[in-house]
């Protein structure tokens, strides 16, 4: 596992365009990506190569900030190219192109765990050229820019109120009963370092919202389960939370909580996306504020955007505590940065210190 500290963003100067190297064995796809990115004045395409070996040979000359990598290529495939980039150019940003298939999801998760910064899913049926260009521009361009954009100071919009449990109102520092985690870009690697370091005796349930499509979340849960002392599964409808169980929200489904007596179970729905996300961290955090109140503990890990900011505000308003990953170990300090800059974080910690913090929390 490559430490995230080695993957700190290399910023561009304000007047400098983001230099992108495209690597794909399909001439059609290379031209499609070039056309999609070429329309953005902040991006400069410095090269396009048909395989990883050619790309590696040209990186010293081209000096890209970002490399887009297809996974399946002759001579040297995307995974091997990624491993070589991480050895030779550890600060170079990499975005993988993935197919929405079981094999594609599995290989993409392996790439993300091996140090890829993000991925773009190829549509199974791209349709017309115009639709393909629109899809690429709306998905790939923000993912390229996320590594170099200077985030605006977090501003909390007007928020709806929630009614936390009566017990939470009088106990602002209640004993924690659940850990809720929000994460996006860089999440599989961050979770791969965090969850396996929680001991088998960990006394709290853990619920994770990771921005990923269906199938990816199931494979992510299976991957974490294979390396963790705790049981990790993809959440299903009506699953009861219990100590030591880790639930990963199902792709394309919001996750909420429902209390029946002393027991709390999950509910899943396909309500409207929030912050363009389903599952959404805000949805899960808001539900945690309603059901758990001060006895919830929120953790915000690496990710683009500000999903979870409003939910953290509601949790804090209910008396809950929160922790965020620091800038230095985050692939993108968007989601954790928004919470920290809004003054909602009780602690800001590097990733390698978060497991111990959670263990201490579970014994308080």
What are the catalytic residues? 184, 211, 307
What does the buried/exposed string (b/e) look like for 328-338 if buried means 16 or more CB atoms within 10 Å of the residue's CB?
Answer: ebbbbbbbbbb
Give the strand pairing for 118-122 and 93-99: parallel
Measure the CA–CA gap between 191 and 136, rounded to whole angstroms: 27
Measure the CA–CA gap between 203 and 103, rounded to whole angstroms: 35
Other beta carbons less than 10 A from residue 251's beta carbon: 20
Other beta carbons less than 10 A from residue 271's beta carbon: 12
Helix (H) or strand (E) holding 31: helix 27-38
Other beta carbons less than 10 A from residue 16's beta carbon: 12
What region does 101 belong to: left with phi over 0, alpha with psi -120 to 50, or beta? beta
Measure the CA–CA gap between 5 and 351, rounded to whole angstroms: 9
Measure the CA–CA gap between 334 and 146, rounded to whole angstroms: 8
Greatest Cα pair distance, the chain, in angstroms, is: 65
Please report the DSSP string for 280-325 in residue order.
-HHHHHHHHHHHTGGGEEEEE-SBSS-TTHHHHHHHHHTT-EEEEE
């Amino acid at each position: 596992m490559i430490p995230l500290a080695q993957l700190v963003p290399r910023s561009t100067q304000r007047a400098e365009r983001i230099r992108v190297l495209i690597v794909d064995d399909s001439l059609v796809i290379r031209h499609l990506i070039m056309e999609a990115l070429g329309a953005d004045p902040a991006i400069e395409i410095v090269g396009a190569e048909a395989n990883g070996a050619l790309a590696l040979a040209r990186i010293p000359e081209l000096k890209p900030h970002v490399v887009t990598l297809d996974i399946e290529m002759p001579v040297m495939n995307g995974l091997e190219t990624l491993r070589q980039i991480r050895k030779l150019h550890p600060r170079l940003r990499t975005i993988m192109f993935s197919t929405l298939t079981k094999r594609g999801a599995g290989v993409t998760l392996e790439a993300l765990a091996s140090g890829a910064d993000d991925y773009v899913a190829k549509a199974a049926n791209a349709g017309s050229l115009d639709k393909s260009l629109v899809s690429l521009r709306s998905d790939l361009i923000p993912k390229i820019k996320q590594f170099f954009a200077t985030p605006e100071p977090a501003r909390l919009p007007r928020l709806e109120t929630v009614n936390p449990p009566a017990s939470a109102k009088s106990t602002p520092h209640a004993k924690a009963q659940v850990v809720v985690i929000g994460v996006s870009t860089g999440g599989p690697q961050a979770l791969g370092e965090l969850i396996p370091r929680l001991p088998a005796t960990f006394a709290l349930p853990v619920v994770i919202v990771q921005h990923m499509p269906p199938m990816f979340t199931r494979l992510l849960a299976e991957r974490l389960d294979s390396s963790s002392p705790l049981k990790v599964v993809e959440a299903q409808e009506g699953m009861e939370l219990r100590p030591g169980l880790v639930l990963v929200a199902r792709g394309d489904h919001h996750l909420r909580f429902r209390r029946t007596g002393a027991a709390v179970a999950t509910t899943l729905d396909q309500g409207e996306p929030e912050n363009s996300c389903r599952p959404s961290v805000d949805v899960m955090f808001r539900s945690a504020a309603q059901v758990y109140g001060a006895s919830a503990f929120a953790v915000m890990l690496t990710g683009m955007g500000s999903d979870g900011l409003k939910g953290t505000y509601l949790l804090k308003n209910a008396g809950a505590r929160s922790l965020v990953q620091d800038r230095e170990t985050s692939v993108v300090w968007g989601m954790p940065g928004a919470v920290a800059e809004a003054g909602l974080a009780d602690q800001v910690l590097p990733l390698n210190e978060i497991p111990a913090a959670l263990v201490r929390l579970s014994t308080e």
